[in-house]
């Protein structure tokens, strides 16, 4: 059974919208797309290649799928460590409206998200990877279906845009499993999902307050 692994880019204030370019996603009037671009140094590139090396299949939200499908099929070098995997491996896109995906190897996932994703995990050798797809990631975290979250935080604050952890997220506890910081200051931290948070208090017990 494969692990469901999310890799997502966020700003210091939690925005995940349009990291790759100005026209990537302008919904909601967002005009700050491309905020991750200047941080793409060798350290960052090594991390991305390591992630794609572990891929067995990809699960994408509709918005991210459309962005990827407009770009990666044109990258035809099979030796490219990212394009080679994205073009060759199975791709699953969560959508209620997409009916005839043109990117080879794409299957549309509809219906009960939890049941569908559990089935995909069962049949995937290696990691079932989510890239971007913030709304889908939030839903799957709330359903306790994501096993590992690679949270890639860039040293920039935007003050606008769609945020990964918005009001109403299901309270969730993680275990930190590793991390690094690139030369450009991007913090790459990996977490396994554990379940509900645990709570305590730093207050002195009543018998110690006298």
Q: Are strands 173-181 and 187-195 parallel, antiparallel or unpaired?
A: antiparallel
CATH number for the domain harbouring residue 143: 3.40.430.10
Q: Confirm if 145 and 2 have CB atoms less than 8 A apart.
A: no
For the chain, the domain total comes to: 1
**Per-residue pLDDT at 157:** 98
170 contacts: CB under 8 Å, gap ≥ 6: 141, 142
**Per-residue pLDDT at 89:** 96
d(CA 161, CA 32): 8
Let me know if residue 142 belongs to a domain: yes
**Per-residue pLDDT at 2:** 86
Domain span at 67? 3-194
38 contacts: CB under 8 Å, gap ≥ 6: 184
**C-alpha 124: how far from chain center:** 18
**Per-residue pLDDT at 209:** 61
- Give all strands of the β-sheet with 91-94 in edge-to-edge order: 106-109, 91-94, 55-61, 127-131, 4-11, 148-154, 187-195, 173-181
Strands (E) located in 53-210: 55-61, 91-94, 106-109, 127-131, 148-154, 173-181, 187-195
DSSP symbol at 134: H
Let me know if residue 55 belongs to a domain: yes
Per-residue pLDDT of the chain (210 residues; tens, 9 = 90+): 889 999 999 999 999 999 999 999 999 999 999 999 999 999 999 999 999 999 999 999 999 999 999 999 999 888 899 999 999 999 999 999 998 899 999 999 998 999 999 999 999 999 999 999 999 999 999 999 999 999 999 999 999 999 999 999 999 999 999 999 999 999 999 999 999 999 999 988 877 765
Residue 179, H or E segment: strand 173-181
DSSP symbol at 149: E
Let me know if residue 178 belongs to a domain: yes
Residue 187, H or E segment: strand 187-195
**Per-residue pLDDT at 210:** 56
Let me know if residue 59 belongs to a domain: yes
Let me know if residue 121 belongs to a domain: yes
Let me know if residue 190 belongs to a domain: yes
Let me know if residue 100 belongs to a domain: yes
**Per-residue pLDDT at 99:** 87
Q: Cα-flanking dihedrals φ and ψ of residue 175, to 5°?
A: -110, 125
Q: Which two tokens stand for residue 105?
A: 């190897």
């Amino acid at each position: 059974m494969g692990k469901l692994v999310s890799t997502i880019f966020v700003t210091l204030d939690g925005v995940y919208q349009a990291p790759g370019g100005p026209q990537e996603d302008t919904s909601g009037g967002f005009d700050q797309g491309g905020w991750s671009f200047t941080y793409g140094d060798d350290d960052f590139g090594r991390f991305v290649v390591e992630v794609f090396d572990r891929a067995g299949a990809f699960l994408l939200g509709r918005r991210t799928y459309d962005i990827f499908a407009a770009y990666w099929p044109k990258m035809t070098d099979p030796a490219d460590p990212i394009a080679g995997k994205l073009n060759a491996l199975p791709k699953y896109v969560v959508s209620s409206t997409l009916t005839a995906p043109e990117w080879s190897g794409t299957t549309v996932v509809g219906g009960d998200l939890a049941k569908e994703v559990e089935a995909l995990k069962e049949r995937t050798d290696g990691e079932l990877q989510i890239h971007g797809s913030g709304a889908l990631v939030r839903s799957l975290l709330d359903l306790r279906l994501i096993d590992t979250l690679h949270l890639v935080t860039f040293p920039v604050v935007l003050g606008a845009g769609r945020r990964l952890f918005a009001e109403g997220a299901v309270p969730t506890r993680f275990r930190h499993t590793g991390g690094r910081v690139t030369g450009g200051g991007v913090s790459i931290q990996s977490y396994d999902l554990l379940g509900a948070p645990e709570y305590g208090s730093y207050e002195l017990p009543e018998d110690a307050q006298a």
